[in-house]
């Protein structure tokens, strides 16, 4: 049987999603858990696929993986989570077709970037984001990773203010390496008045204009959702969702305390 899982993870606790030797990664921990439970023998023999790799520091809520197993009764999220560190949790599972490929069958991916918004003009960011919609050559917004084409389609970009933060949602068919984070950098440069819309239009024409820009920090980016044409009957695990929420509330409290401590350390009083 072929099974798909939805998993979430806190990217700052791992060195990226893709398995790498001698360092902690999301896939490394996941494969270890699946092998310990006897669900798969190896990613290759199980025809393992993943919706998309995320860089070190990038988080996920709706990452999707799929694999073949002869023990589907063990693919319940709470069972798999018992073998995973608290920074990774599976929260939904589904039976899928034998041909389902988590990466190739994805029709769109939804990312969200969160950043302090005190010094940016949200109106300028929203106006600039409209220029990115549709199909363009995003070579100036990527790090080359062997892709044959740098043409991508962005379906939607929404920017909104939430308290002292700005949240930018980007939905597209697929994304190049660092593409979302470099788009965010460009939008914030415009929002700060460092660049303008004419510059952004030039950036979308790499044949005649080339400029390298730094990607926004990884910790602000989350893969929220992956969408498929195939109808998938996801079964959510309420216990796993509740348990993850409890763990994250503890993290939130710790970070709030640390923020206050850092404020005191910089007050010099």
Binding site residues for substrate, as ranges? 111
Please identify every residue annotated as catalytic: 55
Binding site as annotated, residues: 111
User: What is d(CA 44, CA 41) in angstroms, rounded to the nearest whole number?
Assistant: 9
Residues 6+ away with beta carbon under 8 Å from 184: 113, 115, 168, 215, 216, 220, 221
Instruction: Locate 86 and state its tokens.
Output: 């608290």
- DSSP reduced 3-state for 156: strand
CA atoms within 13 A on the CB side of 147: 17
What letter would DSSP give residue 70? S
Q: Which residue carries 């004419």 as its tokens?
A: 198
Are 49 and 3 spatial neighbours (Cβ–Cβ below 8 Å)?
Answer: no
User: What is d(CA 142, CA 172) in angstroms, rounded to the nearest whole number?
Assistant: 15
């Amino acid at each position: 049987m072929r099974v798909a899982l939805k998993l979430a993870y806190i990217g700052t606790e791992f060195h990226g999603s893709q398995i790498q030797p001698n360092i902690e990664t999301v896939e490394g921990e996941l494969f270890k858990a699946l092998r310990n439970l006897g669900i798969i023998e190896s990613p290759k023999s199980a025809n393992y696929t993943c919706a998309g790799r995320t860089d070190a520091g990038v988080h996920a809520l709706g990452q999707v993986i799929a694999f073949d197993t002869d023990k589907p009764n063990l693919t319940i999220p709470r069972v798999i989570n018992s073998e995973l560190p608290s920074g990774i949790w599976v929260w939904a599972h589904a039976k899928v077709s034998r041909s389902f490929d988590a990466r190739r069958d994805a029709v769109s991916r939804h990312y969200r970037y969160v950043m302090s918004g005190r010094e940016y003009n949200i109106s300028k960011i929203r106006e600039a984001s409209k220029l990115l919609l549709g199909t363009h050559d995003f070579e100036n917004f990527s790090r080359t990773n062997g892709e044959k084409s740098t043409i991508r389609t962005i379906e939607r970009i929404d920017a909104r203010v939430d308290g002292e933060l700005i949240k930018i949602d980007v939905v597209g068919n697929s994304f190049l390496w660092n593409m979302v984070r470099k788009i965010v950098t460009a939008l914030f440069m415009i929002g700060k008045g460092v660049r303008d819309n004419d510059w952004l239009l030039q950036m979308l024409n790499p044949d005649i204009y080339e400029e390298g820009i730094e990607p926004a920090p990884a910790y602000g980016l989350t893969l929220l959702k992956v969408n498929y044409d195939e109808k998938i009957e996801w079964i959510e695990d309420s216990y796993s969702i509740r348990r993850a929420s409890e763990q994250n509330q503890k993290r939130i409290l710790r970070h709030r305390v640390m923020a206050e401590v850092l404020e005191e350390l910089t007050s010099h009083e």
